[in-house]
Amino acid sequence: MEENNNPQSNSQDSKQETQQEEIKITSEEKIIELEQKLSESNDKILRAFAELDNVRRRSREELEKSAKFAISNFASDLVLVMENFFLASENAPKAEIEKVPAIKNYADAIVMTEKELMKVLEKNQVRRIYPLNQKFDHNFHEAIAHVESESEEEMVIQVIQAGYSIADRLIRPALVAVAKKKEV
């Protein structure tokens, strides 16, 4: 083998090696830079997917909530009609109803309509709150009077107006009179 003793050739070899080293360093830097960009892009994609999942979940929850309470306003108007049926049934002249068949038929029709309306409301998760002889619950009842009574304290002894809820949401509270101990 022949050794290359030419100074010019050695200089060229040295330049080539230096250039190759620079290219190698530049390539490694470029690879590191591209790997960082790839990592950042992957992170951004993962965050975007997570945000998309959150938006989907929130949208689904809002849709369920809207569907569940869409009839709230309608139901709150309809409960007034329901209460009028209860009033009509409770205040019907019982003695007259038994004497006259036509009035009995009319009273029966009112009771049937009342029951059907209540079924429709219950089917749509509207619940009547009539807490007579139950413990007072501030979540569903509104005490408008405290009356001295022999009953246990904080018991509902009179329902002035029935309350209503739809699912877990209160449409209107039951207006009640609550027992308090008699003062001696």
Cβ neighbours for 127, distance < 8 A, ≥ 6 positions apart: 121, 164, 165, 166
Dump pLDDT digits (tens) for 124-169: 889 999 999 999 999 999 999 999 988 889 999 999 999 999 988 8
More confident residue, 77 or 46: 46
Q: Is the pLDDT of residue 2 over 70?
A: no
More confident residue, 33 or 65: 33
What was the pLDDT predicted at 169? 87
Q: Give the mean model confidence (pLDDT) for residues 116-126.
A: 92
**Are the CB atoms for 99 and 144 separated by under 8 Å?**
no
What was the pLDDT predicted at 11? 67
Calculate the average pLDDT of the chain.
87
What was the pLDDT predicted at 1? 45
Residue 54: pLDDT band (50, 70, 90) is very high
SS3 177: strand
What was the pLDDT predicted at 10? 65
In 130-168, DSSP assigns E strands to 141-148, 156-161, 163-166
**Are the CB atoms for 182 and 148 separated by under 8 Å?**
yes
Dump pLDDT digits (tens) for 86-114: 998 888 888 888 999 999 999 999 999 99
Among all chains, which residue has been given the structure tokens 């993962």? 46
Q: Give the mean model confidence (pLDDT) for residues 67-88.
A: 85
CA dihedral sign, ordered 89, 92, 94, 98: negative
Dump pLDDT digits (tens) for 11-53: 677 777 777 777 777 888 889 999 999 999 999 999 999 999 9
Tally of CA atoms within 13 A in the half-sphere of 57 that contains its CB: 6
